[in-house]
Amino acid sequence: MTASAIVFPGDYSSLIIEKIKIKKRWIIKVKDFFVSYTGSDLNFAIWVAELLEANNFSVTIQAWDFSPGDNFVSKINEALIECRKLVVILSNSYLKSKWCEAEWTSKLAEQMRLQERRIIPIRIEPIDLTGLLSPIVYIDIVDKGEDEAKYEILSGIKDDKPRISKGYPSYYSLEHKDIDIDYYVDKTSIVYIKTCRSKVLVGGKNKVHNRITWFADETIDLISLTDGVHIEPMDLRDTNLNYNVVFDHVLKEGEEIEFRIKAVLSNKKQHFANFFSTEIITPIDTLSIHLNLLDKSIKKVFTQKLSSSPMNIRTELPEEHNFFSPYHWRIQKPELNFEYKIYW
Predicted confidence (pLDDT) at residue 139 exceeds the cutoff of 70: yes
Q: What is the pLDDT of residues 27-59, one digit of tens each?
A: 456 888 999 999 889 999 999 999 999 999 999
Predicted confidence (pLDDT) at residue 23 exceeds the cutoff of 70: no
169 by DSSP, 3-state: which? coil
Predicted confidence (pLDDT) at residue 2 exceeds the cutoff of 80: no
pLDDT at site 328 = 96
Q: What is the pLDDT of residues 66-93, one digit of tens each?
A: 878 877 788 888 888 888 888 999 988 8
Angle of helix 98-114 relative to helix 72-82, nearest 10 degrees, comes to 30
The better pLDDT of the pair 204, 53 is held by: 53
Q: What is the pLDDT of residues 187-198, one digit of tens each?
A: 899 999 999 999
Are 211 and 263 spatial neighbours (Cβ–Cβ below 8 Å)?
no
pLDDT at site 103 = 85
List beta partners, residue 190.
Answer: 185, 265
148 by DSSP, 3-state: which? helix
pLDDT at site 30 = 82
Report how far residue 200's alpha carbon sits from residue 282's, in angstroms, rounded to the nearest whole number.
Answer: 12
The share of the chain scoring above pLDDT 90, in percent, equals 41
* Mean pLDDT score, 2-28: 39
Q: How far apart are the first and last CA of the chain?
A: 102
pLDDT at site 4 = 38
Helix, strand, coil share of the chain (percent; to 5):
20, 40, 45
Q: What angle do CA 224, 226, 227 make, to 5 degrees?
A: 115
The better pLDDT of the pair 338, 14 is held by: 338
pLDDT at site 170 = 66
Query: Which helix (H) or strand (E) covers residue 149, if one does?
Result: helix 146-156
Question: Taking all residues of the chain, what is their mean pLDDT, rounded to a whole number?
Answer: 84
Are 320 and 260 spatial neighbours (Cβ–Cβ below 8 Å)?
no
Strands (DSSP E) contained in the chain are 5-6, 16-17, 31-36, 59-61, 83-90, 119-123, 139-140, 174-185, 189-200, 207-213, 220-224, 229-233, 240-247, 256-266, 275-279, 284-293, 300-307, 319-322, 327-332, 338-343
Are 1 and 21 spatial neighbours (Cβ–Cβ below 8 Å)?
yes
Residues with Cβ within 8 Å of 180's Cβ and at least 6 positions away in sequence, in order, are 194, 195, 288, 290
* Mean pLDDT score, 227-241: 84
According to DSSP, the β-strands at 240-247 and 207-213 are antiparallel
What domains lie within the chain, and their CATH numbers? 31-156 (3.40.50.10140), 174-343 (2.60.40)
Q: What is the pLDDT of residues 88-131, one digit of tens each?
A: 999 888 888 888 888 888 888 787 787 778 888 999 988 877 77
pLDDT at site 309 = 65
List beta partners, residue 266.
Answer: 189
Predicted confidence (pLDDT) at residue 1 exceeds the cutoff of 50: no
Predicted confidence (pLDDT) at residue 222 exceeds the cutoff of 50: yes
Are 58 and 84 spatial neighbours (Cβ–Cβ below 8 Å)?
no
The share of the chain scoring above pLDDT 70, in percent, equals 87
Residues with Cβ within 8 Å of 272's Cβ and at least 6 positions away in sequence, in order, are 190, 215, 265
> Which strands sit side by side in the sheet containing 319-322, from one edge to the other?
275-279, 338-343, 300-307, 319-322
pTM for the full model? 0.54
Predicted confidence (pLDDT) at residue 229 exceeds the cutoff of 90: yes
Q: What angle do CA 241, 245, 246 make, to 5 degrees?
A: 135
**Band (334; pLDDT cuts 50, 70, 90):** very high
Predicted confidence (pLDDT) at residue 22 exceeds the cutoff of 80: no
Predicted confidence (pLDDT) at residue 16 exceeds the cutoff of 50: no
